[in-house]
Amino acid sequence: MIETWQQTLPHGIQLSCRAAGPKGAPVLLFLHGFPEAAFVWDEMLLHFSKPEHGGYRCLAPNLRGYEKSSRPTEASAYRAKFLVQDIAALIHIESGTAPLKALVAHDWGGGVAWNLANQMPALMHKLIIINSPHPGTFLRDLKDDPAQIEASAYMNYFCEPQAAAELSANEFESLFTFFEKGMKPLWLTPEVKAHYKAAWSCGLQGGLNYYVASPLKPNKPGEQVLQNLSLPDAMLRISVPTLLLWGMQDVALLPHLNVGLEAYIPKLTYVPIEEGSHWVVHEHPELVQAQIAAFL
């Protein structure tokens, strides 16, 4: 059974949360990306909360800006330091002084997770990332890899002031097309579509503000902003054991992003999933569960 509630953090932000499993058990925390919401982890929450699969306390918040979580209007409120603050506070509330058993994250949730693991590694025993680029290799390829620059062009569109309205039009018709790029989304049933529509009906601008606030997006024509951006090595190192699962048919985040990661992540386990796309959690849930279980 999935529990739902509104969690108020010490700094005033509220996160709408979903969870399964006994309170007091070791915690698995799941972070979603765009354009998703916490409900996408329900199958994982139910699976890993069962005694035969670990009996974990499994928790998935809707990130700031999503669904019924707080949605600040100013884009600056979606900078990485504030997103990290939210999740660190949630960990302290849910896990107390004990570190997470693991932090599991996809897409923009992974962007938050990379930063959290770098800044506060004591909050987790292990890190599990699914199709979310490490900031060091992402910056490298956004500067120098024409294929990744082209694949990421949508990020600048998401920053346009009219994007939320256009993506919401005709019952989110154009937003659903993002699931259809690459592999056919057989998992996108009418029931699943209804869950997405319900989440998106709360508003899209919060999720789009992640793109507005982030410096990691392609240069616009005539700009050289990224060429002047560098990230200190200390901001990129991940000391905790890390599992990276990657759907190799991802058309937005290309597999070349994973070349050279060993320089940043000494304890890296990399598992490419050849017949998976960016939405590999939906396409191959049992495979993803098995890889997570083996890593735990």
Tens digit of each residue's pLDDT (9 = 90 or more) over 167-200: 999 999 999 999 999 899 999 999 999 999 999 9
Query: What does the buried/exposed string (b/e) look like for 44-67 if buried means 16 or more CB atoms within 10 Å of the residue's CB?
Result: bbebbbeeebbebbbbbbbbbbbb
CA 90/CA 41 separation, integer angstroms? 17
Predicted local distance difference test score (pLDDT) of residue 221: 86
Predicted local distance difference test score (pLDDT) of residue 182: 86
Predicted local distance difference test score (pLDDT) of residue 224: 84
Predicted local distance difference test score (pLDDT) of residue 232: 95
Predicted local distance difference test score (pLDDT) of residue 225: 85
Where do the domains of the chain lie, and which CATH numbers do they carry?
A: 3-295 (3.40.50.1820)
CA 145/CA 131 separation, integer angstroms? 18
Q: For 58-76, write each residue's pLDDT tens digit.
A: 999 999 999 999 999 999 9
| Tokens coding 76 | 């600056």
Q: Are 31 and 103 in contact (CB under 8 A)?
A: yes
pTM for the full predicted model: 0.98
What angle in degrees, to the nearest 10, is found between the helix axes of 80-95 and 108-119?
Answer: 70
Predicted local distance difference test score (pLDDT) of residue 223: 84
Predicted local distance difference test score (pLDDT) of residue 48: 98
Residue 221 preceded by cis peptide, ω within 30: no
Query: What does the buried/exposed string (b/e) look like for 267-292 if buried means 16 or more CB atoms within 10 Å of the residue's CB?
Result: ebeeeebeebbbbbbbbbeebbbebb
| Tokens coding 96 | 């107390």
Predicted local distance difference test score (pLDDT) of residue 148: 98
C-alpha closest to that of 175 among 214, 150, 203? 203
Predicted local distance difference test score (pLDDT) of residue 218: 94
Cα 156-73-230 angle, rounded to 5 deg = 45
C-alpha closest to that of 233 among 131, 135, 129? 135
| Tokens coding 32 | 């979603």
Residues of the chain with pLDDT under 50: none
Predicted local distance difference test score (pLDDT) of residue 222: 83
